[in-house]
Amino acid sequence: MGQDASPPAGLVAAAQRAYHNAYAPYSSFRVGAALLADDGRVFAGANVENASYGLSRCAEQSAVQALASEGGRTFETLVVVTDCDPPAAPCGACRQILVEFAPNATVWLVSLSGHQQLRTSVAELLPGAFRFPA
Ligand code: THU
């Protein structure tokens, strides 16, 4: 994990693309996420809502599902794109899901325009996370 000043451009582009694919007819709040797996593959995800609201999926969860479904088991960097100021951070449930696969990952919160890029990490977002006892 580097201390880069900005997220990889390809990852931002993938998250922006996912943002536009979000299915958010109920909240109208789109979220796009893209992660860089340790083997260099990029996986993206969008939020996918449901008329039964509790069945809605967050973008970060969609991206992690894509990673794991293709055999990926960890990632180095995650970009989350939202159209708000400041760009939104992952919800509590997503933080726990991120910890499962990448407790050491860098997380970038990026605005839709790409002009705002806030750097954080999974560890910073969820200190003291629950891990299954070894
Ligand atoms: N949402 C995400 O995709 N990620 C988060 O971390 C927070 C919330 C989505 C869920 C719902 O579709 C919409 O944003 C409003 O909560």
Burial class (CB in 10 A: 0-12, 13-18, 19+), 108: buried
Instruction: Give residue 4's pLDDT.
Output: 86
User: In this predicted structure, what is the pLDDT of residue 125?
Assistant: 98
Residues lining ligand 1, CB < 6 A? 24, 27, 29, 31, 47, 49, 56, 58-60, 90-91, 94
Tell me the pLDDT of the chain averaged across its residues: 97
End-to-end CA distance of the chain: 25
pLDDT tens per residue across span 12-65 = 999 999 999 999 999 999 999 999 999 999 999 999 999 999 999 999 999 999
Q: How far, in Å, CA of 62 to CA of 103, rounded?
A: 18
Verify whether residue 60 is a known catalytic residue.
Answer: yes
- Encode pLDDT of 60-103 as tens digits: 999 999 999 999 999 999 999 999 999 999 999 999 999 999 99
CA-closest candidate to residue 123, choices 99, 100, 92: 99
β-bridge pairing 106-111 and 32-37: unpaired
Is the pLDDT at 119 greater than 70? The verdict is yes
Query: By alpha-carbon position, which residue is closest to atom 14 of ligand 1?
Result: 29
Please report the domains of the chain, with CATH numbers, ordered by start residue.
Answer: 9-125 (3.40.140.10)
Task: Evaluate if residue 2 carries a pLDDT over 70.
Answer: no
Atom 4 in ligand 1: which residue has the minimum CA distance? 58
Instruction: Quickly state the pLDDT bin for 1 (edges 50, 70, 90).
Output: very low
